[in-house]
Structure 1
Amino acid sequence: MSGATVDLLRQRLSVLQPVSLTIRDDSHLHAGHAGARSGGGHYHVDIVAAVFAGKNTVARHRLIYDAAGDLMRGPIHALSICAEIPGAV
C-alpha cells in the first residue's frame, strides 16, 4: 500500500506546483506503533514551491494537509514536512 500512497500523495501535492518534491516512506521505523497497527503509514515530505513564499511554517503545512485531503484520515497516520521556497534551500 505504501507505494500507492506515495503515488497518491505525489498527485495531490502537484497542485502546489512544486519545483522539487521528495516523499519518503518511514513506516518501517514505526512498526508496532498504534497508527501503524491501524494501517496508517508514516511519511516524510521535502517540498520546494513558490506558493510557500510569505507564509509561515503553520500556513505552509496547512497547504500540504489541505492538498493531501482524505489521505490524512486513512493511509497516512503521520506526515513529517520540510516545506521551503525556491532559493531558500
Structure 2
Amino acid sequence: MTMNVDEEVSRLIEEITRLGTKRPDGKIVVKYGVLFNDDIVANTFEALLGTLKAAKRKKLITYDGEILLQRVHDNVDIIIL
C-alpha cells in the first residue's frame, strides 16, 4: 500500500491520538517508545522517522531534537500541536 506524505502524516496523527494521553492543556502526547513499539504503527509506516520529521516540518507535531532513535529517545514526548 502506497501513501503520499500528507496521507502518512494524517495517519500518524491518528495513531498518536490513539496511543497518547491528553494533557491538562488539551494537547495529546505520546512517548516515542510507545509509538515506535506499537504493532499497528510498525506495520503502517515504512519510515516512521521520516513521517515524524514531515509532520514536524508542517508544524503538526513537536518533539525535542531532530532525530529520534529507538531506546535512546524512548522517553521523548511527541506532542500534537
TM-score (structure 1 length as normaliser): 0.36
Q: Which structure carries more strand by proportion?
A: 1
Structure whose alpha-carbon radius of gyration is higher: 1
TM-score (structure 2 length as normaliser): 0.39
